[in-house]
Chains A and B, each alone.
Chain A
Amino acid sequence: MNQPMLWGVGTSDYGLFPERRVESLAWAAVSEAVRDAGISPAEIDAIVVGSVFGPPGVATRVQRGIGIPGVPMWTVENACASGTSAYHEAVEAVRLGRFGCVLVLGVDQMSTLFSGAIVPEATDPEGASSLPLPGLYALQAQRYLGEFGVTPEQLAAVAVKNKRNGLDNPRAQLRNKAPDIEEVLASRMIAEPLTFLQCCPTSDGAGAAIIGPDRGNRDDLRIEASAMVSGALWDHRSDDVWGFASVARAAEKAYAQSGRTPAEMDVLEVHDAFTIGEIMTLEALGIAPRGKGAELAPSGHTARDGAQPVNPSGGLLSRGHPLGATGTAQIAEIAWQLRGRAGARQVSRHRVGMVETMGGGAAGMDGNACVVTILSTQ
């Protein structure tokens, strides 16, 4: 068994770029990651791509431009967790010695498919019934309001925190101004209680990572754990809100692999597609007890200068959410944070970092997939 290491990361800018070829977003991310890893493209001996909306063949069109022909390559679709699922496969391949150096690419160009919210999937029982993703998260949020007494102000505090963080992220889609709680709550309703500023934007972008074994480079980050789980039934027997159990399953595996506890996580990037998502996720990750996750943003615990900063990049709420690229963007942010190179976004304690991505939307399942990974400096 090899110790998998993160050799390098790179991303494109995030935003709406319908005029750009999708490949150009990928090339920006890949070239930065290759330079960051200090390797020649010729050293890459496998490519794993995470993408939801493709288009079909995008991996090969990307490959054509970067001169890495003939290597094993495959594309993974696990909804919003596609990028981190691709990363997970690369990590496992390196751990098992199957490949020596794997390029991970996450990419999606949503602006060429949707002019607003994602159109629900017509083949899904709930998608066909016009359940939009913000509606699904709103149903979660209503449970939190009714069961735990969570307030709209607590939800809004997550958006305020992440959008403030995003001001310092030059690659974030939304970085012009940070709203206060009143402005978040006064923005137009999307699905009660989630307002517009509590929902991530539709985005284009790409992220890349280079994974390899320990090569004695002090700048490489140790991948202490990587866990990927698929969904399980979410039905009338489930007490948990939708999504909770899949995140908890992946987290349990990741903590077991690394031998670490939630309190040891110095900095986290988690799936805040909607404000309630960050709250639910932090509970499922054990950062807060059940029903208490909504207190973390208002208390400052998850602020950039708090005890456990969460989404210092601005999260999906600021950076944007090109589905397949999101996981790789999260990994890039944690890499920059752990190496102390996050600039104005830098958190003070940065030895151990966590990334969590949960993708979902298939009716009756607690997620399509969830990946949790723990990285550390050497």
Chain B
Amino acid sequence: MAESEAPTESTLGVGRPTKRRPGSAVGGLAVADPRPVFEDGSVLGVRCTACRYPAAQQGIPWCPVCYQPVEPARFSPAGAAWSSTVVAIPVGERRPPFGIAYLDLDDGPRVMVHLAEPAVLPLGARLRITGTDRGDLLASPEESTEGQS
């Protein structure tokens, strides 16, 4: 959905209930944070005890691939960018431009990250998650983060 023209000033809805608007950024109620957790240099998640399938979400009842038990896991913060883009519209509390990428963590899951510097990166570019920004995973090109663990 792209933006369309902003509605012109109108008296529509004045003096009676208006519809809900989802998301705290636009005045909705807060919800539990569903995002992956970054702690002590690792992305937290689960790994299957049988097939080793990694997932960045916690609290799932079994491995979604083979149905065997999962156990808590810590994933490397480094990996290869599957794709990236620079978003040029405001989204929630984010103001443009901001960069996002899908990052395939080494021996880990694919996670969505924000880029410290907005850029379209070559496919497969090496990235490392260095922390979080407003709770979102934040990544930079690996060469710029050497020395960090």
User: A interface vs B, CB < 8 Å?
Assistant: 16, 18-19, 55, 110-135, 138-143, 146-147, 188-193, 196, 199-202, 233, 235-236, 238, 273, 321, 363-364
Contact = CB atoms under 8 A, between A and B. Distances in A.
Contacts of B135: 128-129
Contact of B86 (A126, A191, A200): A191
28 contacts: A16-B7, A19-B10, A110-B1, A111-B7, A113-B19, A117-B89, A119-B91, A121-B22, A126-B112, A129-B100, A129-B136, A129-B137, A130-B91, A134-B87, A135-B87, A138-B87, A139-B85, A140-B83, A142-B83, A143-B83, A146-B122, A147-B123, A189-B88, A200-B1, A202-B3, A233-B64, A236-B82, A236-B109
A143 B54 CA distance: 23
B12 interface: yes
Interface residues of B, number: 58
B92 interface: yes
Given A190-B89, A192-B88, A235-B110, A130 B136 contact: yes
B14 interface: no
B114 interface: yes
A279 to B, nearest CB: 15
A119 B25 contact: yes
Nearest to B106: A236
B89 A138 contact: no
Given A113-B19, A128-B33, A196-B2, A18 B92 contact: no
A135 B85 contact: yes
B123 A143 contact: yes
B57 A125 contact: yes
B1 to A, nearest CB: 4
B86 A122 contact: no
A19 B35 contact: no
Pick from B31, B85, B93 the residue with the most CB of A within 10 Å: B85
Contacts of B28: 122
B146 to A, nearest CB: 24
B120 to A, nearest CB: 5
Contacts of B108: 236
Given A117-B2, A130-B87, A191-B89, 6 more contacts: A116-B2, A128-B34, A129-B136, A139-B100, A142-B85, A200-B1
Contacts of B122: 146
B31 A122 contact: yes
A363 B6 CA distance: 29
Contacts of A190: 2-3, 87-89
A126 B12 CA distance: 33
B12 A120 contact: no
Contact of B22 (A119, A140, A191, A196): A119
B102 interface: yes
Contacts of A115: 6-7
B63 to A, nearest CB: 11
Given A124-B34, A125-B34, A125-B35, A235 B89 contact: no
B21 interface: yes
B100 A119 contact: no
Contacts of A133: 1
A132 B87 contact: yes
B87 to A, nearest CB: 5
Contact of A55 (B19, B32, B33, B102): B19
B149 interface: no
Contacts of B82: 139, 143, 236
A132 B6 contact: no
Contacts of B101: 139
A191 B83 CA distance: 13
B100 A131 contact: yes
B3 A117 contact: yes
Contacts of B137: 129
Contacts of A142: 83-85, 120, 123
B23 A119 contact: yes
B35 A139 contact: no
B64 A119 contact: no
Contacts of B64: 233
Contact of A114 (B1, B35, B86, B109): B1
Given A116-B4, A200-B1, A236-B109, A138 B85 contact: yes
- Nearest 4 A/B pairs, CB to CB: A199-B2, A116-B3, A138-B85, A146-B123
Nearest to B121: A142
B24 A122 contact: yes
